[in-house]
Amino acid sequence: MLIEQGRYRGVICDHGFNKTSTDKDQLVLTFSLIGKLDPSRPDAMDPAPDANRSIFRVLTEKTIDYAIQDLRGIGWRGDSFAELDLASGGNASLCGTEIDVLCTHEDYQGKVQERWSLAGRRGLELKPADSKTVMRLDAKFGKLLKQKPATAQPLGVPTKTKPKAKAAPAAEVKPAWEADDAEMTATTKDCPF
């Protein structure tokens, strides 16, 4: 049964390691679906099919940082992968941990298949921007942030606009964002908002 694409909540029921068909190591997180998440109702879940699915994370030099971020994001704080290998007596069970997962569909050898991944920004570390960065962004894009649309449009819905009449060419003016950093001595009162 092909499960509908979307964001779901699951609970981990098994995890460990195995090999891909090309003999690469991979982490496997198996979970049971407990509900389908609806972005228009963040505090509610719709029923989900009674099914177990797995997330496969190939472990290579290029992917290991992402895999560790995912594991940290779902609560694992260990320092050895042996802890996660339940089949070999690992003692760091993630079983029972609720996770948000994303189901997408992809074509593989002429057949549509589910592809599961962890959803959200878990594991992503955000660092505060310095004040110069924020001031530069405000000087560059602040006016756009202050503009209000005539009517609210849902995201992803194209708006219909009338073509604008061509205006006479104006004298060339150097935009503020192209100014040298030495010229960028803005203070908060210089920001457009």
DSSP 12-67: EEEEEEEE-TTS-EEEEEEEEEEEEEETTEEEEEE---S-EEEEEEE--TTTHHHH
Residue that is written with structure tokens 């390691």 in the block = 17
Amino acid at 28: V
Asked whether the predicted pLDDT for residue 31 surpasses 90, the reply is yes
Reported as a single tens digit per residue, the pLDDT across 51-69 is 999 999 999 999 998 999 8
User: Alpha-carbon distance 100 to 27, whole Å?
Assistant: 17
Q: Provide the 8-state DSSP code for 96.
A: T
Query: Using CB atoms within 10 A of its CB, is residue 154 exposed (0-12), middle (13-18) or buried (19+)?
Result: exposed
Q: Is pLDDT of 11 > 90? A: yes
Residue 16 predicted with pLDDT over 50: yes
Alpha helix positions (H), the chain: 64-73, 131-146
**pLDDT at position 8, please?**
95
Confidence at residue 102, expressed as pLDDT on a 0 to 100 scale: 95
pLDDT for residue 192: 42
The predicted structure's pLDDT at residue 5: 94
Closest CA to 92 of 106, 104, 82, 103: 82
**Cα-based distances in Å from 176 to 131, 161, 170, 179:** 17, 28, 17, 5
The confidence score (pLDDT) of residue 129 equals: 59
pLDDT of 181 strictly over 70: no
What pLDDT score was predicted for residue 159?
36
- 123-158: per-residue pLDDT in tens? 344 455 556 666 666 676 656 555 444 443 333 333
Q: Mean pLDDT score of the chain, rounded to an integer?
A: 75
Question: Is pLDDT of 98 > 80?
Answer: yes
Residue 82 CA to residue 92 CA, distance in Å, equals: 9
pLDDT value, residue 55? 96
Instruction: Find the mean pLDDT for residues 162-166.
Output: 42
pLDDT beyond 90 at 33: yes
